[in-house]
Amino acid sequence: MKNSVKSILVILAIVMSLVAVRSASAETVSGTIESISLKPNIVVVDGTAVNGVRLDYLCNQYNVCLEEGDTVTIDYYEYTCLSGTVKLIATSITAGDITVQLR
């Protein structure tokens, strides 16, 4: 009986992890930075809020120091949280002729 309960729990855990992980497709937004938030790290480009852009990292490591009003292109994927909230997660950012892969 104990083994069957363990098996059911393992199967349940696998199914739940598959539900939590969804396939993602890459999207792109290009335009002007409207606003920047550092906690959490969110950049709004032409009305699209993209998460995961660490501006301090970009500035310190790549000398890409972004400000509101700058023109950028951000590649991102959609991530659906367990709560159902959809977040856009940045995978790369291009400013001028510099592209930085973030993930």
2 assigned to some structural domain: no
What pLDDT shows up at residue 11? 73
CA distances from 14 to 20, 42, 58 (A): 10, 32, 37
87 assigned to some structural domain: yes
Number of structural domains found in the chain = 1
Determine the straight-line distance between the first and last CA of the chain, rounded to whole angstroms: 44
CATH label of the domain that carries residue 42: 2.40.50.140
What pLDDT shows up at residue 21? 46
73, exposed or middle or buried, with CB in 10 Å at 0-12, 13-18, 19+?
middle
11 assigned to some structural domain: no
34, exposed or middle or buried, with CB in 10 Å at 0-12, 13-18, 19+?
middle
- The whole-model pTM stands at 0.71
Which residues of the chain register pLDDT less than 70?
1-2, 9-10, 12-25
62 assigned to some structural domain: yes
